[in-house]
Chains A and B, each alone.
Chain A
Amino acid sequence: MSVSKRSFALITACCVFAFVLFAIGCNPGGGSGSVSLQGAGASFPNPLYQKWLSEYGKAHATVKIDYQSIGSGGGIKQLKEQTVDFGASDAPMKDEDLKSAPGEIVHIPTVLGAVVITYNLEGVSQPLKFSPEVIADIFLGKIKTWNDPKIAADNAGVTLPARDITVVHRSDSSGTSAVFTDYLSKISSEWKEKVGAGTSPSWPIGIGGKGNEGVTGQVKNTPNTIGYVELAYAVQNKLPVAQVKNASGSYIQPSVDAVTAAASASIATTPEDLRVSITNAAGAQAYPISSYTYILVYKNQKDAAKGKALVDFLWWGLHDGEKYAKELQYAPLPADIVTRAEGKINSITAAGKTLR
Chain B
Amino acid sequence: MSAAWENGRSKFAGPGSTWRRILSPTGNTGDVIFRILMFLVALLMVGIVVSMVIALAADAMPSIRQFGFGFLKSQRWDPIKGEFGALPFVYGTVASSLIALLISVPFSLGIAIFLVEQAPPYIARPIGFVVELLAAIPSVVYGLWGIFVLAPVLREYVEPALAKVFGWLPLFRGSITGIGLLTGGIILAIMVTPIISAVVRDVLSAVPGSQREAALALGATKWEMIRVVLVNGAPGIAGAIILGLGRALGETMAVTMVIGNRPQISFSLFEPSYTIASAIANEFTEATGDLYLSALVELGLILFLVTFIVNGFARVLVWNVTRRTGGVGRAA
Chain A residues packing against B (C-beta within 8 Å):
70-74, 76-77, 97, 164, 166, 171-175, 195-203, 206-210, 214, 217-218, 221-222
Given A208-B262, A214-B257, is A202 in contact with B80 using a C-beta cutoff of 8 Å? yes
List 7 extra interface pairs beyond A166-B177, A202-B77, A208-B282, CB under 8 A.
A74-B285, A173-B286, A199-B287, A200-B79, A200-B80, A217-B147, A221-B151
B107-128 interface with A by 8 A CB criterion: none
Closest residue of chain B to A225 (Cβ to Cβ) is B177
Contacting residues, chain A, for B278 (C-beta < 8 A): 171
Within the complex, the shortest CB–CB distance from A286 to chain B, in Å, comes to: 26
Contacting residues, chain A, for B285 (C-beta < 8 A): 70-71, 73-74, 172-173
Whether B286 and A222, one on each chain, are in contact in the complex, defined by CB atoms closer than 8 angstroms, is no
Given A195-B80, A202-B80, is A73 in contact with B260 using a C-beta cutoff of 8 Å? no
Given A203-B262, A206-B262, is A222 in contact with B177 using a C-beta cutoff of 8 Å? yes
Within the complex, the shortest CB–CB distance from B199 to chain A, in Å, comes to: 31
SS class, residues of chain B in contact with chain A = loop
Closest residue of chain B to A205 (Cβ to Cβ) is B262
Whether B79 and A201, one on each chain, are in contact in the complex, defined by CB atoms closer than 8 angstroms, is yes
Whether A210 and B257, one on each chain, are in contact in the complex, defined by CB atoms closer than 8 angstroms, is yes
Whether A218 and B179, one on each chain, are in contact in the complex, defined by CB atoms closer than 8 angstroms, is yes
- What is the CA–CA distance of A279 and B269 in the complex, to the nearest angstrom? 38
B266-285 interface with A by 8 A CB criterion: 272, 274, 278, 281-283, 285
Closest residue of chain B to A72 (Cβ to Cβ) is B286
Q: Which of B76, B180, B286 contacts A73 (CB 8 A)?
A: B286
Within the complex, the shortest CB–CB distance from B260 to chain A, in Å, comes to: 4
Q: Which of A70, A201, A208, A210 contacts B272 (CB 8 A)?
A: A208
Contacting residues, chain B, for A208 (C-beta < 8 A): 260-262, 272, 274, 282
Contacting residues, chain A, for B148 (C-beta < 8 A): 217, 221
Whether A171 and B286, one on each chain, are in contact in the complex, defined by CB atoms closer than 8 angstroms, is no
Whether A221 and B147, one on each chain, are in contact in the complex, defined by CB atoms closer than 8 angstroms, is yes
Encode contact with A along B155-187: 1 for CB under 8 Å, 0 otherwise.
100000000000000000001011110000000
Q: Which of B78, B281, B286, B288 contacts A202 (CB 8 A)?
A: B78
- What is the CA–CA distance of A174 and B287 in the complex, to the nearest angstrom? 9
Contacting residues, chain A, for B155 (C-beta < 8 A): 222
Chain B residues packing against A (C-beta within 8 Å):
76-81, 144, 147-148, 151-152, 155, 175, 177-180, 256-257, 260-263, 272, 274, 278, 281-283, 285-288
Nearest 6 CB-CB pairs, A to B?
A: A208-B261, A171-B261, A173-B286, A202-B78, A71-B285, A207-B260
- What is the CA–CA distance of A198 and B81 in the complex, to the nearest angstrom? 10
- What is the CA–CA distance of A197 and B78 in the complex, to the nearest angstrom? 11
Closest residue of chain B to A70 (Cβ to Cβ) is B285
Within the complex, the shortest CB–CB distance from A213 to chain B, in Å, comes to: 9
Within the complex, the shortest CB–CB distance from B262 to chain A, in Å, comes to: 6
Within the complex, the shortest CB–CB distance from B151 to chain A, in Å, comes to: 6
Q: Which of A72, A172, A207, A222 contacts B283 (CB 8 A)?
A: A172
Q: Which of A70, A74, A196, A207 contacts B80 (CB 8 A)?
A: A196
Q: Which of A175, A203, A214, A221 contacts B286 (CB 8 A)?
A: A175
Instruction: List 7 interface pairs A-B (beta carbons < 8 Å), by A numbering.
Output: A71-B285, A73-B286, A166-B175, A196-B80, A197-B80, A208-B274, A208-B282
Within the complex, the shortest CB–CB distance from B86 to chain A, in Å, comes to: 14
- What is the CA–CA distance of A217 and B283 in the complex, to the nearest angstrom? 19
Whether B282 and A172, one on each chain, are in contact in the complex, defined by CB atoms closer than 8 angstroms, is yes
Q: Which of A77, A174, A208, A222 has the most CB of B within 10 A?
A: A208
Contacting residues, chain A, for B262 (C-beta < 8 A): 203, 206-208
Given A171-B256, A173-B79, A221-B147, is A207 in contact with B272 using a C-beta cutoff of 8 Å? yes
Whether B261 and A222, one on each chain, are in contact in the complex, defined by CB atoms closer than 8 angstroms, is no
Contacting residues, chain A, for B77 (C-beta < 8 A): 202
Within the complex, the shortest CB–CB distance from A144 to chain B, in Å, comes to: 10
- What is the CA–CA distance of A195 and B77 in the complex, to the nearest angstrom? 11
Given A171-B282, A199-B286, A221-B147, is A164 in contact with B80 using a C-beta cutoff of 8 Å? no
Contacting residues, chain A, for B260 (C-beta < 8 A): 207-208
Contacting residues, chain A, for B79 (C-beta < 8 A): 173, 198-202
Q: Which of B76, B78, B274, B287 contacts A173 (CB 8 A)?
A: B287
Whether B80 and A198, one on each chain, are in contact in the complex, defined by CB atoms closer than 8 angstroms, is yes
Given A73-B285, A76-B288, A208-B260, is A164 in contact with B175 using a C-beta cutoff of 8 Å? yes
Q: Which of B80, B147, B152, B175 contacts A201 (CB 8 A)?
A: B80
